[in-house]
Amino acid sequence: MNAPDSIKPPNKPAPLYAKRTAVFPKKTDGPFRRFKWAVMAVCLIIYWGTPWLRWDRGPFAPHQAVLVDLEHRRFYMFAIEIWPQEFYFVAGMLIMAGIGLFLVTSAVGRAWCGYACPQTVWTDLYQHVDRLIDGDRNAQTRLQNAPWGAAKTMQRLFKWTVYLGIAFCTGGAWIFYFADAPTLQRQFWTGTAAPVAYAATGILTFTTFWLGGFMREQVCIYMCPWPRIQTAMLDENSLTVTYKHWRGEPRGSLKEAKGAATPLGDCIDCHQCVAVCPTGIDIREGAQIGCITCALCIDACDKAMDSVGRPRGLIDYCTLIDADLEASGKPARPALKVLFRPRTIAYFAIWGGIGAALLFMLGARERLTISVARERNPEFVQLSGGAVRNAFTVNLRNMQDRPRALRITAENMRGAALYSDEMASGAAQRELAVTVPADSMRRVRLYVVVPAEQARPHAFTFVAQPTDSVGGAVRRETQFMAPEPEHHDDKHEESE
Ligand code: SF4
Ligand code: SF4
């Protein structure tokens, strides 16, 4: 039986992938363009400059202000030093960054995408290189459509070399966050840096070159998950770049407007908003995932409006609620009312709460810690005179930038004597002196010997008391193991 035409599969399925249409955004100028330049400059200066900032941490720690020291498993950020067991601080900062993005998105839409995202910054930089080498939009289109010849090949090779140079200087600079930057730079150019430094530079140079130079808006539209997440973050109060169709439509050129039977809208259909768009979309078709809210179309449209003597703001930052208000002839709400609303205040409160909690924990954290592991096999050793010995591994962590001299004692342990495996058992004493080097951990294998008459299973506490003026003793309770007293008696009776 033949299927009806309506449910017959099409002869040729629609392609899953659309071929990319190259985007050659036109040069524009205006407040948002200048703001983008400023943000790009600030982002690049921070990115390039940060590894070269110095921070004096004394003779025992590196002097790089921001350093991920993988070799010694430390993260330094100015006065803050994070140890591996304190990774929750880094997790807290990442959570703050995430909530900060939620806050920014719910308040001003995709501002991150439009101004500060590295993909945006790099793409913007490369598009500027295109304009410097190939010329503006029309010249780029002509060159793109021109057949390959010696001149086009040379021009392309030159441009790609510039791309590679930028990729090397930007992507490659990432390695300086992972080692002392001046030293690594010397080693890098003399060929004595670790192979991983060259490999990382190569990978980051290539990804920057490829993503910024060739993939461009496709990263934002198809690869990056953030635009999808943002769709859930935006609401009717979020600022987005909006074409005010109630003002612009019906659109038509000035020539068409002259011959029209009814007055046309403000949009003169000059396509300048499309020409400058770095993702190649037409904002007049409404909000779309390809819009990174860079606001360059606002600059372009304002110029077009100026040229025909119409009010600016045909394309503008606007919320859905304000768009409805304006479309019905009412004034938009004040900007502060839009920005300060329960949702943004709630995000800010969570963000600030986490920040305050992290600061409190940073201020309250101990810079000297002790942990104790009791040896379990055997749990105790009975010495010839009846005394009982337990063995412990004591880890002392000194997170300060100077050595700490400590006195270790066993509290609640009458008659106990301590010695380490670096000492003879005959040298056991009531307290043990240990020095922990700056910014490091010292592991001490330690024996506690208790005379026969005191030996019974019970809890006691190791106390590590700094002998310097700073003080700040740390304690860790553990268990002393010994034969049960009745066993002891039984054994005693048996031997009698
Ligand atoms: S539509 Fe306007 S705001 Fe959106 S990406 Fe294009 S130029 Fe930027
Ligand atoms: S730039 Fe403004 S006037 Fe020109 S087409 Fe775009 S919306 Fe219309």
- Is the pLDDT at 2 greater than 80? The verdict is no
pLDDT, position 9: 57
Residue nearest to ligand 2 atom 7, measured at CA: 267
Q: Is the CB of 399 under 6 A from ligand 1?
A: no
Helix axes 150-171, 31-49, angle to 10 degrees: 60
**Distance (Å, whole) CA 472 – CA 338:** 50
Give the CB-side neighbour count of residue 216, counting CA atoms within 13 A.
Answer: 21
Residue nearest to ligand 1 atom 7, measured at CA: 277
Q: Is the CB of 244 under 6 A from ligand 2?
A: no
* Among 428, 78, 130, residue whose Cα is nearest residue 278: 130
**Distance (Å, whole) CA 69 – CA 190:** 22
Q: Is the CB of 304 under 6 A from ligand 2?
A: yes
Burial class (CB in 10 A: 0-12, 13-18, 19+), 122: buried
Q: Is the CB of 410 under 6 A from ligand 1?
A: no
Span from the CA of 26 to the centroid of ligand 2 (angstroms): 14
DSSP letters of 97-130? HHHHHHHHHHHHSSHIIIII-HHHHHHHHHHHHH
What CA dihedral angle connects 166, 172, 174 and 177, to 10 degrees?
Answer: -130
Burial class (CB in 10 A: 0-12, 13-18, 19+), 417: buried
- Is the pLDDT at 468 greater than 90? The verdict is no
Tokens, residue 202: 């190569």
Q: In the structure, how many helices (H) and strands (E) does the chain have?
A: 18, 14
The pTM of this model reads 0.81
Cis peptide before 51 (omega within 30 of 0): no
Q: Is the CB of 294 under 6 A from ligand 1?
A: yes
pLDDT, position 291: 93
pLDDT, position 10: 59
128-131: long-range contacts, CB 8 A cutoff, minimum separation 24: 129/159, 129/162, 129/163, 129/166, 130/24, 130/159, 131/27
Q: Which amino acid is at 40?
A: M
Kindly list the distances between the CA atom of residue 45 and the CA atoms of 35, 49, 124, in Å, as whole numbers in the listed order.
15, 5, 16
Q: Is the CB of 300 under 6 A from ligand 2?
A: yes
- Is the pLDDT at 479 greater than 60? The verdict is yes
Residue 378 in 3-state DSSP? coil
- Cβ atoms 297, 241 nearer than 8 A: yes
Domains and CATH numbers, the chain: 31-233 (no CATH), 240-328 (no CATH), 368-495 (2.60.40.10)
Span from the CA of 328 to the centroid of ligand 2 (angstroms): 21
Q: Is the CB of 220 under 6 A from ligand 1?
A: no
- Cβ atoms 374, 439 nearer than 8 A: no
Kindly list the distances between the CA atom of residue 358 and the CA atoms of 102, 284, 347, 369, 407, in Å, as whole numbers in the listed order.
19, 45, 17, 19, 31
- Is the pLDDT at 224 greater than 80? The verdict is yes
Task: Note the Cα 331 to chain centre separation in Å.
Answer: 40
pLDDT band at 439 (very low <50, low <70, confident <90, very high): confident
Burial class (CB in 10 A: 0-12, 13-18, 19+), 319: buried
Q: Is the CB of 292 under 6 A from ligand 1?
A: yes
Residue 186 in 3-state DSSP? helix
Ligand nearest to the CA of 254: 2
Tokens, residue 397: 């962590």
Q: Is the CB of 281 under 6 A from ligand 1?
A: yes
Percentage above 70 pLDDT, the chain: 95
Q: Is the CB of 268 under 6 A from ligand 2?
A: yes
Span from the CA of 292 to the centroid of ligand 2 (angstroms): 18
Return mean pLDDT, the chain.
90
- Is the pLDDT at 491 greater than 80? The verdict is no
Span from the CA of 295 to the centroid of ligand 1 (angstroms): 5
Residue nearest to ligand 2 atom 2, measured at CA: 301
Q: Is the CB of 275 under 6 A from ligand 1?
A: no
pLDDT, position 449: 95
Ligand nearest to the CA of 28: 1
Span from the CA of 336 to the centroid of ligand 1 (angstroms): 24
pLDDT, position 336: 87
Atom of ligand 1 at shortest distance to CA of 25? 7
Q: What value does the mean pLDDT take over residues 219-238?
A: 87
Q: Is the CB of 297 under 6 A from ligand 1?
A: yes
Residue nearest to ligand 1 atom 8, measured at CA: 294
Helix axes 342-364, 87-108, angle to 10 degrees: 160
**Distance (Å, whole) CA 434 – CA 79:** 27
pLDDT, position 235: 86
* Among 440, 278, 344, residue whose Cα is nearest residue 99: 344
**Distance (Å, whole) CA 451 – CA 416:** 7
Q: Is the dihedral of CA 378, 382, 388, 393 positive or negative?
A: negative
Ligand nearest to the CA of 315: 2
Q: Is the CB of 296 under 6 A from ligand 1?
A: yes
pLDDT in tens, 341-385: 999 999 999 999 999 999 999 988 888 999 999 999 899 999 988
Q: What value does the mean pLDDT take over residues 149-169?
A: 96
pLDDT in tens, 128-152: 999 999 999 999 999 999 999 999 9
**Distance (Å, whole) CA 249 – CA 254:** 13
Residue nearest to ligand 2 atom 3, measured at CA: 267
- Is the pLDDT at 244 greater than 90? The verdict is yes
Interior angle at CA 117, CA 113 and CA 118, nearest 5? 145
Span from the CA of 300 to the centroid of ligand 2 (angstroms): 8
pLDDT, position 495: 36
